[in-house]
Copies of this chain bind each other. A is one copy, B any other.
Amino acid sequence: MVKVALDALGGDFAPDVVIEGAVNAVNKNENLHVVLCGPEAEVKAKLEKLGYTGKGISVVDAPDPVAMDEHPVEVLKKKPHSGLVTCVALQKKGMVDASVSAGNSGAMMASCLMLLGRTTDKFSRPPIGCVIPTADRPIILVDAGANVDERAATLVDFAIAGSAFAETYFGYENPKVGLLNMGEEEHKGPAVLQEAHQLLKAAPVNFIGNIEGETLIEGVADVVVTSGFTGNVVLKMLEGFYELHKKMFGVIDTPNGRRFDEMWDYRMTGGALLLGLNGTGIIAHGRSDALAIEKAVEVAAKYAEKGVSKNVNERLLAIKDDSSEAK
């Protein structure tokens, strides 16, 4: 049995879609238990309305709402009884295996960082590892938007964490790591990327060199390493493409159409994993609907079952500080 704590009030369409997503997830997965953290009476009433049978879901009372723009540290201090903080606190106490919120992502990150703790002080903030689609297969993007203005050595740590993620989750052997840049040649791009390119050549990853926006989409790499800033732009462009396609062409009912929907519909990805934490913290999309929440819960359970965070942490800790921190 895998237990996933879910912030019932997190997300633009909470709590309705969150509760619906949780019910769908447990109905489809016998081995899954969801702990809904939110205002108990409200959550239970909605569960009843959805015909919830009492199997696979429990509720922990956490009545405080968290606004999307509330300051992360303030949330931690003043809202210990929010669904967001509670779902992380339950993991800290060993009562669940993973925590998911589609709410205030900065607050979720801060809660995971402060309550679960970081494995390494290499990252100022836990980088976001995100499954993204390509023309060929899903791959891992690190960092999808937690950090900015990273040093070259930090990008190397992203590569190590991303490799362990791709290996553990997808089973990709010796995953190919590409550095997102503006040209294939090693002397191309911003100074920090030129430096990172040299460091990556010596790093314990299967570095295949620089990749570009087009080869990223083609799927030449299994892991794309980039600054949180660029990673966020990439992630949101991928979402934008999908939305554009959907708007212009609707559902295309061919094998390729179904494959495109399955891989490019970002609701199917469910949520992104915070890397370098002593635990499994998942940030789901703020605009999540019931399907996205269902997938986020499923993915959280898989991350926990496969020990993705544990493997990422072992890999990060195995590096001697002087090799990756050297400037």
Chain A residues in the interface with B (C-beta under 8 A): 135, 145, 148-149, 180-183, 189-191, 193, 212-218, 227-230, 232-241, 243-245, 247-249, 252, 254, 256-257, 259-260
Would you call B145 and A229 a contact (CB within 8 A)?
Answer: no
Instruction: Tell me the bound Cα distance from A256 to B246 in angstroms.
Output: 11
The answer to whether A244 and B217 have CB atoms under 8 Å apart is yes
Whether the pair B190, A229 counts as a contact (CB closer than 8 A) is yes
A-B contact pairs, 24 of them (CB 8 A): A135-B244, A148-B189, A148-B191, A149-B190, A149-B191, A180-B233, A182-B232, A190-B227, A212-B232, A213-B232, A213-B234, A213-B235, A213-B236, A213-B240, A214-B236, A216-B240, A217-B240, A217-B243, A229-B230, A241-B241, A248-B257, A248-B259, A249-B254, A249-B257
Q: CA of A34 to CA of B134 in the docked complex: distance in angstroms?
A: 40
Q: Which of A213, A249, A256 has the most CB of B within 10 A?
A: A213
Known contacts A182-B232, A240-B218, A249 near B252 by CB under 8 Å: yes
Complex Cα gap A107–B183 (Å):
15
Contact at A212–B229, with CB atoms within 8 Å?
Answer: no
Most central of A135, A215, A260 by chain B CB within 10 Å? A135
Answer whether A230 and B230 are a contact pair too, CB < 8 Å, given A191-B149, A237-B213.
Answer: yes
Instruction: Point out the residue from B218, B230, B235 that lies within 8 Å of A233, measured CB to CB.
Output: B230
- Contact A234–B232 (Cβ < 8 Å): no
- Residues A245 and B245 in contact, CB atoms below 8 Å apart: yes
Query: Given the complex, which residues of B lie within 8 Å of A243, measured CB to CB?
Result: 135, 214, 217-218
Max chain B Cβ within 10 angstroms of own Cβ: one of A212, A234, A239, A252:
A212
Q: Is A213's CB under 8 angstroms from B233's CB? A: yes
State in angstroms the CA–CA spacing of A228 and B191 once bound together.
Answer: 13
Q: Are A212 and B236 within 8 A (Cβ)? A: yes
The 8 Å CB contact of A240, one of B181, B214, B233, B256, is B214
Query: Which of A135, A181, A228, A248 has the most chain B CB atoms inside 10 A of its CB?
Result: A248
